[in-house]
Amino acid sequence: MGRAKITVVGAGNVGATTAHWCAAAELGDVVLVDIPQAGDMPKGKALDLMQSSPIMGFDSEIAGATDYEPTRDSDVVVITAGIPRKPGMSRDDLLATNAKIVTAVTEQVKTTSPNAILIVVSNPLDAMVQQAQAVSGFPPNRVLGQAGVLDTARYRTFLAMELGVSVEDVSALLMGGHGDTMVPMPTCTSVGGIPIRRLLSEERLGEIVDRARKGGAEIVGLLKTGSAYYAPAAAVAQMVEAIVKDKRRLIPCAAYCDSEYNVGGYYVGVPVVLGANGVERIVELELDEQESADFQKSVDAVRDLVATMNQLMAG
């Protein structure tokens, strides 16, 4: 039984850090791919990372490439390729550019790794994962997006900071689209088994939820150039681990929902069981009135985003 083969497309901060976390955790052999214009940069990063293995004590082959041949027959392919939103850039510009990039990448992956599970990280996330599934033609359980793991990690971090407790004892769930319309689930948030509402006032909880929602923007504002990459990459590595080790983790991911939650054929953040087949199943929760209204708003935003993308791609 050989090691799993993990391809990371895009050797920028998120991609390279994803390769780092995956290699350090010995999840498999890693191929870091970028566009030909990147020159030898992916090879340089791969070699540097490989040279850390004797020190950190991990056995993973790490290779860099600017074509897809070395990625052939990957078990998992992570797509981080795309441009970040630049100052003054409209959401539609970002949407059109990244949809073209994700389309080109997915076409390559479909040819070289037809049995892979695809994890999309490129933004705007919910639309990009929809596009990757449409282009690949893979069954929806094998195409998913990373958002919920990162969003809940931010939420859990802020709750642990507020309460002065270990992050390990904070268990939480967020649903819906990635970003401003994400839906916090206080009914599914607890600390050491104690419901969060017994420990925090509704008002303070609301402030923490809001900070989690704007977590990415807060980091962009502090960094001035670029966006978050340690936590997004760690979130991807957790998803890769659940797949290659068939852990059946119950975590929120952007998954294809049709009849589930009455979504009607879109990718949206929901709790899923993640294992060797990708999305093993979607966990359907009874939502209260507020959660239901918030979730519907989130689904509507995703639907609008996908419609705009489809128009831009057609035009």
For residues 48 and 164, membership in a common domain is answered with: no
For residues 255 and 301, membership in a common domain is answered with: yes
pLDDT in tens, 102-155: 999 999 999 999 999 999 999 999 999 999 999 999 999 999 999 999 999 999
Tell me, yes or no, whether 9 lies in a domain.
yes
What's the pLDDT band for 180 if we cut at 50, 70, 90? confident
Catalytically active residues are 178
For residues 228 and 196, membership in a common domain is answered with: yes
For residues 97 and 192, membership in a common domain is answered with: no
Residue ending a domain, among 129, 145, 161, is 145
What pLDDT shows up at residue 14? 97
The residues near 205 (Cβ < 8 Å, ≥ 6 apart) are 186, 196, 197
Tell me, yes or no, whether 194 lies in a domain.
yes
Tell me, yes or no, whether 41 lies in a domain.
yes
pLDDT in tens, 5-25: 999 999 999 999 999 999 999
Residues 199-223: what's their mean pLDDT?
Answer: 94
For residues 125 and 198, membership in a common domain is answered with: no
Give the structural domain span for 37.
Answer: 5-145
What pLDDT shows up at residue 90? 77
Residues 201-220: what's their mean pLDDT?
Answer: 93
* Predicted TM-score of the model (pTM): 0.96
For residues 155 and 206, membership in a common domain is answered with: yes
Tell me, yes or no, whether 314 lies in a domain.
no
Tell me, yes or no, whether 130 lies in a domain.
yes
The CATH code of the domain that includes 66 is 3.40.50.720
For residues 133 and 175, membership in a common domain is answered with: no
